[in-house]
Amino acid sequence: MHFEILKTQGKARAGILHTPHGPIPTPVFAPVGTQATVKAVLPRDLREIGASLVLANTYHLHLRPGDALIRDLGGLHQFMAWPGPILTDSGGFQVFSLTQINKIDEDGVTFRSHIDGSTHRLTPEASIRIQENLGADIIMCFDQCPIPKDRTVVEPAVRRTMDWAARCRETHPDDSQQALFGIVQGGIFEDQRARSADFLRTLDFPGYAIGGLAVGESKSEMYATLDFTVPMLPADKPRYLMGVGEPDDLIQAVMRGVDIFDCVIPTRIARHGSALTRNGRINMRNREYTSADIPLDEGCTCYTCQHFTRAYLRHLVRARELLAYTLLSIHNIHFLVQHMQAMRDAILAGSDLAVYRDTFLQQYMG
Amino acid sequence: MHFEILKTQGKARAGILHTPHGPIPTPVFAPVGTQATVKAVLPRDLREIGASLVLANTYHLHLRPGDALIRDLGGLHQFMAWPGPILTDSGGFQVFSLTQINKIDEDGVTFRSHIDGSTHRLTPEASIRIQENLGADIIMCFDQCPIPKDRTVVEPAVRRTMDWAARCRETHPDDSQQALFGIVQGGIFEDQRARSADFLRTLDFPGYAIGGLAVGESKSEMYATLDFTVPMLPADKPRYLMGVGEPDDLIQAVMRGVDIFDCVIPTRIARHGSALTRNGRINMRNREYTSADIPLDEGCTCYTCQHFTRAYLRHLVRARELLAYTLLSIHNIHFLVQHMQAMRDAILAGSDLAVYRDTFLQQYMG
């Protein structure tokens, strides 16, 4: 994997992340395909939308259908028929957020499956082995993601994440085609982020993620944390802000130097009947769209907006038709992909990102 | 509307039904888009599959979102972004099958909506007005579909359906772009089918449907009923067998002279995790597909079979992923469209349909 920075503007960068499954233009937003499918969207439509990177979840795929099965079927790309780049997370987040019973020790985490209650164990070595079976282009170190504002839980989580990162680095072959990223933890505390980042830098990862944000802290706390954390990371390596995808957060983080994002927002809110538009988020159940003979977003070039009215989408949502989730997901992912593309274009063209940010936020936040 | 018969073989015909929204090659299978969407399938994919005609339900669209709204938004074609031919049923079937409370009289039917319990009334005139608002290329007479094997209910239903057909014919303008089809009722009774067909012929419809089959009688009773009913219909007009779509029934009915079919089977069984294959129907929950590295149907050219294994589809079905319903629906509709295409090709090429039937059934029924 090779990261090429084409141009910068302040802290923001426009680049290309070259992977075994093709280039990823950055900054980039990755839709989430939790169970080896971006919910309700065909791979062909993802391509047409302009998505270049898709995320899949190690925790889910390990439990069902099993990572060894996916390996035997040719790996995740072939299994889900997504020929482009894939990133897998480590499972560290889900073993705590999705399971009701879990127990952490120095070696790893024992937990009960949210599907059938069966007992499983993840360790740094196991997470890497699973991710090697899945075969994603970018894989992540097994980490512990603590509540970001409680120093007494953040400190031991940082220490454990450092220890586990070293074990992940050690167990993953140096000559692998899969690029292993380190994850900086530390909550909202500058000294903890520095401690985490300084250690990870000594391990020389091909990319660095910022974990443990957008999990309970305020937006201003998140931005402040980015302000001091991003400069702790190597300038020539890609930077990935995990789990962040609100349109306003994306522009704020790009301007603070982040290159890669993922989030379930576009597909999750689609299943709740909501759409992202330049004028903010709208819910299609709203009565005012009953006879609205206009697309979700005027001027949008996605398949949904090119063919369907708000009135039709409202009808589908009210009738609980599956097509509603497909059409809203297509639009919402397209919206975020276009948003990233606009930022990239601005950086490459040398036009002021702050102007784009102010115009976008004024319209989006109302 | 103009029906062109290109070639016949025994009772079977290959033709083209010319409509305001394009030609329909016959014999044809129409997927069902109950609520102005073929469940889980984009119109673009329906086109790619080769579907030429789509059915929508008057009962459902009248109740939600309302036929006047659809008219105001440019009609059903524009509303659901399906540029090809559409057929709407009359609502007659659903007011009895879907409502718990309904009351029939000589003038029409009063019923409670299955959605919210509100009271509505359908009459022949109301059904035609609704279907005119929807704007389908082919519309149907309001009829009463009785239990097919009880003469005491079939006889009054035939009389009422005759009376209502005359009122539908009277109320629908002669110069309309929408072709109004009559519906022959009469259960499994030859004298009742003759009575119904003889009367409808005097009204000179541009097409004739056979209703009241595949609603409880045996397959041999259905085929016997087709044997005597089809010859009662004008040879130069299209013949439509309502609600039939099992692969074996399709070939049996085509060989008895039927041109048009519709059925929810391909999309309904998709939502239950099942697929149509040349070797019969299979359920993807079956353990034997756990690691099956083959498509649903070897040699199938649909998007699903070109990209995904049975193992992947089984995973999606077990994980209740929405993409499962889309991918299985695409394959199942494609399967029936190809089945009809094969019959049409055989008729046009002059190759023996009976050979196709025997080969197909032997493989499909096992």
Q: What SS3 string covers A286-348?
A: CHHHCCCCCCCCCCCCCHHHHHCCHHHHHHHHHCCCHHHHHHHHHHHHHHHHHHHHHHHHHHH
8 Å CB contact between A353 and A27: no
Task: Name the pLDDT band for B316 (thresholds 50, 70, 90).
Answer: very high
Question: What is the Cβ-side half-sphere exposure of residue B28, based on CA atoms within 13 angstroms?
Answer: 25
Tokens representing A237 are: 């390596």
Task: Name the pLDDT band for B226 (thresholds 50, 70, 90).
Answer: very high
What is d(CA B329, CA B360) in angstroms, rounded to the nearest whole number? 21
Residues of A in contact with B35 (CB under 8 A): 315-316, 319, 321
What is d(CA A138, CA A54) in angstroms, rounded to the nearest whole number? 10
Active site residue B262: yes
Helix then strand then coil, in percent of chain A rounded to 5, is 45, 20, 35
Task: Name the pLDDT band for A366 (thresholds 50, 70, 90).
Answer: confident
Q: Please write the tens of the pLDDT for every residue from A207-265.
A: 999 999 999 999 999 999 999 999 999 999 999 999 999 999 999 999 999 999 999 99
Tokens representing A340 are: 């990233």
pTM of the complete model: 0.98
Strand pairing category for A102-104 and A86-88? unpaired
Question: In this structure, which amino acid lies at residue A78?
Answer: Q
Write down the mean pLDDT value for chain A.
Answer: 97
Give me the mean pLDDT over the A137-166 stretch.
96
Helix then strand then coil, in percent of chain B rounded to 5, is 45, 20, 35
Exactly one of B45, B89, B259, B297 is catalytic; name it.
B89
Nearest CA in chain A to B287: A65
Strand-pairing partners, residue B111, are B102, B120
Of B196, B262, B238, whose CA–CA distance to B19 is shortest?
A: B238
Q: Please write the tens of the pLDDT for every residue from B91-140.
A: 999 998 898 889 999 999 999 999 999 999 999 999 999 999 999 999 99
Distance from CA of B193 to the nearest CA of A (A): 37
Strand pairing category for B239-241 and B260-263? parallel
Of B264, B145, B141, whose CA–CA distance to B211 is shortest?
A: B145
- The answer to whether residue B15 scores a pLDDT higher than 90 is yes
Q: Please write the tens of the pLDDT for every residue from A24-70.
A: 999 999 999 999 999 999 999 999 999 999 999 999 999 999 999 99
- The answer to whether residue A101 scores a pLDDT higher than 90 is no
What is d(CA B246, CA B263) in angstroms, rounded to the nearest whole number? 8
Is residue A124 reached through a cis peptide bond, with omega within 30 degrees of 0 on the bond before it?
Answer: no
Looking at residue A99, its pLDDT comes to: 85
Domains of chain B in start order, with CATH, are: 2-263 (3.20.20.105), 272-366 (no CATH)
Residues of B in contact with A44 (CB under 8 A): 303
8 Å CB contact between B254 and B240: no
Distance from CA of B143 to the nearest CA of A (A): 26
Q: Please write the tens of the pLDDT for every residue from B31-52.
A: 999 999 999 999 999 999 999 9
Strand-pairing partners, residue B9, are B12
- The answer to whether residue A96 scores a pLDDT higher than 90 is no
- In this predicted complex, what is the ipTM? 0.97
Looking at residue A100, its pLDDT comes to: 84
Task: Name the pLDDT band for A147 (thresholds 50, 70, 90).
Answer: confident
Looking at residue B68, its pLDDT comes to: 98
What is d(CA B113, CA B121) in angstroms, rounded to the nearest whole number? 10
- The answer to whether residue B147 scores a pLDDT higher than 90 is no
Burial, A351: exposed, middle or buried (Cβ in 10 Å; 0-12, 13-18, 19+)?
Answer: exposed
Write down the mean pLDDT value for chain B.
Answer: 97
What is d(CA A89, CA A212) in angstroms, rounded to the nearest whole number? 13
